[in-house]
Amino acid sequence: MSPFQQLVDLSQRQAAAFAEGEVRIMCELIAERGALIERLPAPGPADRAFVERAVALDRELASAVRDRMLTLRSTAAQLHNRQTNLNGYRINGAPSARLLNFVL
């Protein structure tokens, strides 16, 4: 397998790991990929398709990671809003223990 085929393989493994929710594995593959990229020779005409495929997979992965981050951010904001709304329904009961300790 040529080094450029290995690059495509690593890109596919990263995408698969992310799709399966294995972000840790995806990040571990980044180091392996970096080491491979450092020792890649200059691409020849036969390697062009592999390089283009690796770049396309990288773009897809970056887009998927960005979408997931935006989803998580939106979910966190919704949870915060729900908590704030629930706090509005809190019944003013007995003072908290901290308040009692402060008064005493």
- Tell me the per-residue pLDDT of 63-97, one tens digit each, with 9 for 90 and over: 999 999 999 999 998 888 888 877 777 666 555 55
pTM over 0.75: no
Q: Could you give the C-alpha distances from 25 to 18, 19, 42, 56, 101, in angstroms and in order?
A: 8, 11, 28, 20, 49
- CB atoms inside a 10 Å sphere around CB 99: 10
96 — phi, psi (to 5°)?
-70, 160
Q: What is the pLDDT of residues 1-39, one digit of tens each?
A: 899 999 999 999 999 999 999 999 999 999 999 999 999
Q: Which of 20, 100, 48 is nearest to 12 (CA)?
A: 20
Q: What is the largest CA-CA distance in the chain?
A: 82
Residue pair 4/49 in contact (Cβ under 8 Å)? The answer is no
